[in-house]
């Protein structure tokens, strides 16, 4: 599990250092809203202040989720890439979200005035790559093990303890979301959830999915 990064401290510094306007913005989003469209290469860096988003890729006319973006995450690092285009979309999946965005040039200018924040930016980049390294063997797992892995992974970041002291995932983590991330069908997800429920690992196989903490 990665350690907490105090991105809010950096955002506060940027807001105090740079006048609001064309350089930075803070915007509210709603579920299904697209932050960055496919093929649109932004010149902007984003910080997700609240909510959950996904990185989606269209492959063979099928939409897949390649990664999740959680609260306090930085994204938009493709703005530093030499590739002229990208092939993914950033979409909000939580009911609402708040995102701070800043132009890459403004960010770099501000960092030059206080270079110690460079380490925080690089830490964000490194953690993004580290998460992706964990996916390398993911698709070699059976569908049920993929679902088990995904629910464990999501519970680390967005799981909540409900009134019954059970580990519960938000209602926006649906079979459709799991199918897109696990690269399988919703019917296969339904069977996998049933299997995990029968083993006792899941306490509830319908939304909101609930995990038996004693088996984590």
**What predicted TM-score, i.e. pTM, was given to this entire model?**
0.90
**End residue of a domain, out of 114, 133, 152:** 133
User: Which residues, in sequence order, are bridge partners of residue 10?
Assistant: none
pLDDT-based confidence at residue 134 (cuts at 50, 70, 90): confident
**How confident is the model at residue 213, as a pLDDT?**
81
Long-range contacts of range 203-209, CB-CB < 8 Å, 24 or more positions apart? 203/166, 204/168, 207/171, 207/173, 207/174, 208/168, 208/169, 208/170, 208/171, 208/173, 209/151, 209/168, 209/169, 209/173
- Are 142 and 65 found together in one domain? no
Rounded to whole angstroms, how far apart are CA atoms 201 and 25? 43
* Residues 76 and 156 grouped into a single domain: no
Total number of domains constituting the chain: 2
Lowest model confidence (mean pLDDT) among 83-97, 139-153, 178-192: 83-97
108 and 209: one domain? no
| CATH number for the domain that contains residue 28 | 2.60.120.10
Give yes or no for residue 35 having a pLDDT over 80. Answer: yes
CATH number, domain of 167, equals 1.10.10.10
Sheet with 96-103, side-by-side order of all strands: 24-30, 96-103, 44-50, 74-75
Q: Please state, rounded to an integer, the average pLDDT across all residues of the chain.
A: 89
Domain-ending residue, one of 108, 133, 158: 133
The answer to the question of residue 1 being in a domain is no
| Averaged pLDDT for residues 136-155 | 91
Quick one: tokens of 135?
Answer: 């996916």
Tell me: do 25 and 112 sit in the same domain: yes
Question: In the prediction, which pLDDT does 130 show?
Answer: 84
Note whether 29 and 108 are same-domain residues: yes
Q: Answer yes or no: is pLDDT of 129 > 90.
A: no
Please check whether residue 163 lies inside any domain of the structure: yes
Task: Single out the residue in 85, 115, 133 at which a domain terminates.
Answer: 133
15 and 109 in a single domain? The answer is yes
pLDDT per position as a tens digit, 147-179 = 999 999 999 999 999 988 899 999 999 999 999
DSSP character for 41? -
Q: For position 5, what pLDDT does the model report? A: 84
169 plus 127 within the same structural domain:
no
Question: To which H or E segment does residue 19 belong?
Answer: none
Residue 51's domain comprises 7-133
Task: Verify that 79 and 158 share a domain, yes or no.
Answer: no
Which two structure tokens, joined as six digits, stand for 150? 């995904």
* pLDDT tens digit sequence for 176-193: 999 999 999 999 999 999
Beta strands in the chain (DSSP E): 24-30, 34-36, 44-50, 53-59, 62-69, 74-75, 88-92, 96-103, 160-161, 167-168, 202-204, 210-211
Do 182 and 143 belong to one domain?
Answer: yes
Q: Give the whole-number percent of the chain exceeding pLDDT 90.
A: 69
Looking at the structure, do residues 32 and 116 belong to the same domain, yes or no?
Answer: yes
Q: Looking at the structure, do residues 24 and 121 belong to the same domain, yes or no?
A: yes
Residue 28 tokens, joined: 């509210």
In this structure, the answer to whether residues 100 and 161 fall within a common structural domain is no
């Amino acid at each position: 599990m990665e350690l907490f990064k105090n991105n809010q401290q950096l955002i506060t510094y940027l807001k105090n250092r740079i006048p609001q306007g064309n350089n930075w913005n803070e915007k509210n989003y709603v579920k299904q809203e697209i932050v960055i469209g496919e093929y649109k290469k932004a010149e902007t860096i984003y910080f997700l202040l609240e909510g959950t988003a996904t990185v989606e890729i269209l492959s063979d006319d099928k939409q897949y989720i390649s990664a999740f973006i959680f609260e306090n995450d930085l994204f938009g690092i493709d703005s530093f890439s030499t590739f002229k285009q990208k092939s993914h979309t950033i979409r909000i999946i939580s009911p609402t979200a708040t995102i701070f965005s800043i132009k890459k040039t403004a960010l770099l200018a501000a960092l030059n005035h206080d270079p110690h924040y460079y380490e925080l930016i690089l830490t964000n980049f490194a953690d993004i790559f580290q998460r992706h390294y964990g996916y390398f063997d993911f698709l070699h797992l059976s569908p049920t093990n993929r679902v088990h892995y995904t629910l464990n992974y999501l519970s680390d970041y967005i799981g909540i303890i409900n009134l019954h002291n059970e580990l519960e995932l938000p209602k926006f983590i649906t079979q459709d979301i799991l199918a897109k991330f696990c690269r399988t069908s919703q019917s296969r997800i339904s069977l996998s959830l049933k299997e995990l429920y029968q083993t006792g690992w899941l306490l509830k196989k319908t939304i909101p999915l609930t995990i038996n903490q004693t088996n984590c």
